[in-house]
Amino acid sequence: MVEENILPASVNETYEMLKKQNFVANDKFAQLIFLALKLNRPILIEGPVGSGKTTSAHAIALALNIPLIKLQCYEGLGVNEAVYEWNYAAQLISIKMDTDIYEDENNRMPQLFTSRYLIKRPLLEALEGNGGKSVVLLIDEIDRADSGFESILLEILAENQFTIPDFGTIKAQTPPVIIITSNGTRSIHNALRRRCFYYCLSWPSFKNERRFIESRLPAAQEKISKMIDIFVETLKVDSQTRNDFDKDERNWIKAIKEFDAFELSPERVNKAFHIYFKYKEKLKSSEGNEISKLLRQAQVEFEDINKK
């Protein structure tokens, strides 16, 4: 497991640790991360694209000051791409040219399945660690891989080891911090779920969204960040529109600041709004009288908040 001296001592310390890396976690998520680190359990995080699943893994790695190894999942991913592969070309050359591979010149038993010919992929690299130290292993978007790929992970998740036929078992001396993410495009098998702590990461609350904006753009005026949040909530953007939401919202704030928009107005928002919604069909809600109505509604809500 990760060295005790760098692990957070409490849930609150976990929250602050992530906050320093500009990742704002709610209490439940911070508690789950704290327990997973203490008990050395993998974490399975499900949620829509752009909700912060991958970012959380990077934040944990930075907070613990340990390397991150990422395995990006895709259709057709298997053992050879994810765990290990034999260097067949080198084996063939050795058979022809190197007599050192034979255990006994009389028996001529080839020693081809040794570490000399083993090509290590991300999962095996994570088990071996970084110079004997732990790493964060991010298995990203597992739902993009075929369901059969999940069976490859079971031994790693349960025992922090992997058995290679004709070679032996490689067991982690310092188990990695394992984080698996899923966009929920297909169901994940119960066998994998049982081996993990589970968390469903949804869109941040109004309060956490404001904290996120302030942590990423501390120079943003408080009034602008409040009004942007209320305005975006007013639009009731669906999950597809909110893909890459955090990045787009930060770009929108920067754009408004560049236009010196200390107060939101239809004209100023029209200029910056084109950055937020990238496609023409999504710009319809920002044209004509509709945007004025939405702004008036947002300004009323903003004034109500200021009165509290």
What are 51-85's pLDDT values in tens digits?
Answer: 889 999 999 999 999 999 999 999 999 999 999 99
Is 307 among the domain residues?
Answer: no
Q: Which amino acid is at 169?
A: T
Domain count of the fold of the chain: 3
Can you give the CATH number for the domain in which 69 is found? 3.40.50.300
Q: How far is CA 2 from CA 7, 64, 120, 175, 307, in A?
A: 7, 9, 22, 7, 47
Rounded CA-CA distance 22/213 in Å is: 9
**Exposed/middle/buried for residue 301 (C-beta within 10 Å: 0-12, 13-18, 19+):** middle
Confirm whether 234 is domain-assigned.
Answer: yes
Backbone angles phi, psi at 291, to 5 degrees: -65, -35
Does 89 lie in the same domain as 48? no
Q: Are residues 71 and 93 in the same domain?
A: no
Judgement on whether residues 22 and 132 belong to the same structural domain of the protein: yes
Report how far apart, in Å, the C-alpha atoms of 264 and of each of 116, 224, 288 are: 64, 8, 16
* Helical ranges in the chain per DSSP H: 11-19, 27-39, 53-64, 79-82, 88-97, 122-128, 149-159, 190-193, 206-216, 222-235, 245-258, 266-276, 289-307
pTM over 0.75: no
- For residue 308, tell me if it sits in a domain: no
**Residues 189, 40 share a domain:** yes
CB–CB of 65/133 below 8 Å? no
Regarding whether 220 and 165 lie in a shared domain, the answer is no
Q: Give the residue-averaged pLDDT of 269-292.
A: 49
- My answer on whether 250 and 228 are in the same domain is yes
Parent domain of 286: 206-302
User: In this structure, what token pair is assigned to residue 269?
Assistant: 């928002």
Strand order in the sheet with 136-140: 68-72, 136-140, 177-182, 43-46, 197-200
pLDDT over 50 (residue 277)? no
pLDDT per position as a tens digit, 128-163:
988 778 999 999 999 999 999 999 999 999 999 999
